[in-house]
Structure 1
Amino acid sequence: MRSFATEHTVTTPHAPRSRGRRSGPVLAYAPDGTTLGFAAGLARGSSLAFVESIHGFPLGGWAHQFGAVDLTRPAERPEELRPELAEAVDRLDLHTSNGFGDEFGKQQAQRILQTLRSAGPLDRDVILGALAARGTSERAVRNLAKLIDELDPR
């Protein structure tokens, strides 16, 4: 990672916006919801690599949305989302405008999640990552995570 940083622009979401506007490959180390979107924006038109943290933001759903390759297992491709899970992600995406923070948004999310849960286990990380890949705000992802955890405690 050090050699990458010496050859390329290094920035963070907190750096001045004038930094990091060059085009080129982007490496995001253990991104959170904010850094995920920031890195994707910087990489527009180039390559993007994430190093996922065990305790960090789940990237499985993000990988599904973009067909990303796990460089530690390049021969493996992400499995297709179960149809009911893909439909639930689509429906949740329609209700993200208020970040699942208002009563209506919470009720809609809970209804969608309960329907999905009746079809099988909730795949928390895939749901959250897929919505993040669609540009859902970090606040909405955080609120949805709470709703999932209430419905399906780990």
Structure 2
Amino acid sequence: MPDDDPERGWDVAADLAVDWIRRECVEQGATGVLVLNAFGAEQQVPSLRRFAGEHRVTTPRASRDRAGRGTGPVLAYVPDEKTLDFAMRLARASSLAVVESVHGFPLKGWARELGAVDLTRPDEQPASLNPELAAAIDRLDFYKNNGFGDRFGKQQAEHILQDLRGAGILESDVILGALAARGASDRAVRNLRKLIDGLDRR
């Protein structure tokens, strides 16, 4: 559920995501999980509040036991990178719906990488990536194992990012989202964001 229309209220965005995830729960005969950055956010949106009353609710800070393992479809509401990573792990072998906040963690690259369905345009396919940018994301994915926290990983990432900036295709949101979709940890995504921000300040 993209955050791409300033006229669309959060209630509308949540309603569409809840409707979709409810259908997934029925089809799978499973209990859903609402994943939040922090408890209490669901109380501000009626459809989330109702969903939370019927299903499970958790956050990355809560015990994983609160949601169980392989419980069923997962709805992540305006996640940051840590919450998205947590929600993706919970949703393995099931379904995942995400309500985006571009002020939290933009999901354009994530959606493109996974071929996610845009609930506002269900018949449209995500736009394909620039081939040069896609190749660079492949290379960054290769070096992500240590979360871009070691000297070698940082150096390799900086070279790749500098090449992208030189080519005029350093799309931060797309890169970070695509890496998250490929299973990069929230630590790796944060470290890569710092490297990109550092280039922008030079």
- TM-score, structure 2 as length reference: 0.70
Q: Tell me, yes or no, if the aligned pair for 1:23 and 1:45 is still in contact at 8 Å.
A: no
Q: Where does residue 64 of structure 1 map in the other structure?
A: 112
- Following superposition, the deviation at residue 75 of structure 1 comes to 2.9
Gaps of 5+ in 1: none
Instruction: Give runs of ≥4 in structure 1 deviating > 4 Å.
Output: none
Mark the structure with the bigger radius of gyration.
2
**Higher helix proportion (structure 1 or 2):** 2
Show CA shifts across 1:66-110 (max 9, x none): 100121222332111111111101101111122222222111111
The one-letter amino acid paired with 1:59 is L
Identical aligned pairs, as a percentage?
A: 69
The one-letter amino acid paired with 1:12 is T
Q: Where does residue 61 of structure 2 map in the other structure?
A: 14
Q: CA RMSD in A?
A: 1.6
State the aligned residue count: 153
What SS is found at the alignment partner of 1:97? coil
- Following superposition, the deviation at residue 57 of structure 1 comes to 1.0
Structure scoring higher RCO (CA < 8 A, sep ≥ 6) equals: 1
Aligned: 1:146 with 2:190: no
What SS is found at the alignment partner of 1:27? strand
Aligned: 1:78 with 2:121: no
Q: Tell me, yes or no, if the aligned pair for 2:60 and 2:82 is still in contact at 8 Å.
A: yes
Pairing of 1:31-46 with structure 2 (within 5 A): 31-46=79-94
- TM-score, structure 1 as length reference: 0.90
- Following superposition, the deviation at residue 29 of structure 1 comes to 0.7
The one-letter amino acid paired with 1:88 is A
| CA–CA distance in structure 2, aligned partners of residues 16 and 152 of structure 1 | 38
What SS is found at the alignment partner of 2:56? coil
- Following superposition, the deviation at residue 32 of structure 1 comes to 1.4
| CA–CA distance in structure 1, aligned partners of residues 197 and 169 of structure 2 | 12
Which range moves more in the overlay, 58-67 or 123-132? 58-67
